Chains A and B, each alone.
Chain A
């Protein structure tokens, strides 16, 4: 079936450190890939997306590249800030558009 697997948390980093959160997927069709972020006490909001292989999504200094050959969509940021502390969810939806599949989330804490 269709699914998303992302790295277990929690992740704790110092401010200005480099961030990578791994995400791999299994899809029976051709998916679009997303990263959503959930700040404390809030709902999820879209961080970035990529709709086809080799596309790079980017937003707020975060980037992720759709790698079909490795079925991956790893999230990266070169220099994290305290305000990036949140839970990050990788997700996919097939081009048939039935439903989104979310990973279990990775909690990130950035310390000054």
Chain B
């Protein structure tokens, strides 16, 4: 079956702009989580959506937001971009909320560069 698909794979923005990233989970998976990956910090949890509801949120400013649609596809948005937002943004899906089934399935990520 198809894996987790993230679009776009690469993008370049300038400070102050906003960006929207998209994630299509594995068919049948209702949970989508987002992570920010940077060389020094590893993976930092942004938020998780389950059945269109934000279930959990990490310690990021309000500029970072997300949503999930009825088909489980998810988007995340970052407004007023800062240089420090440059990172690989990873989406992960799982069958049940919080990955309690024991496995997250990751997409290849969207690499954002802010100039």
Whether a CB of chain B sits under 8 angstroms from the CB of A14 is no
**Contact mask for chain A residues 98-112; partner B; CB cutoff 8 A; 1 contact, 0 none:** 111111110000000
Q: Is A27 an interface residue (CB 8 A)?
A: no
List, in ascending order, chain A residues with CB within 8 A of B45's CB. Answer: 99-101
Question: Chain A interface (Cβ within 8 Å of chain B)?
Answer: 32, 34, 36, 41-46, 49, 51, 89, 93, 96-105
> A99 touching B58 by the CB < 8 A rule?
yes
Contact B56 A98 (CB under 8 A): yes
A45–B92 Cα distance when bound, in Å, is 10
Interface string of B16-46 (1 = CB under 8 A from A): 0000000000000000010100001111010
A99 adjacent to B103 (CB under 8 Å)? no
Selected A-B contacts with CB under 8 Å, 30 pairs: A32-B102, A36-B104, A36-B106, A42-B108, A43-B108, A43-B109, A44-B43, A45-B105, A46-B103, A46-B104, A49-B102, A49-B103, A51-B102, A89-B42, A93-B98, A93-B100, A96-B98, A97-B99, A99-B45, A99-B48, A99-B58, A99-B98, A99-B99, A100-B45, A100-B99, A100-B104, A101-B45, A102-B42, A104-B41, A105-B42
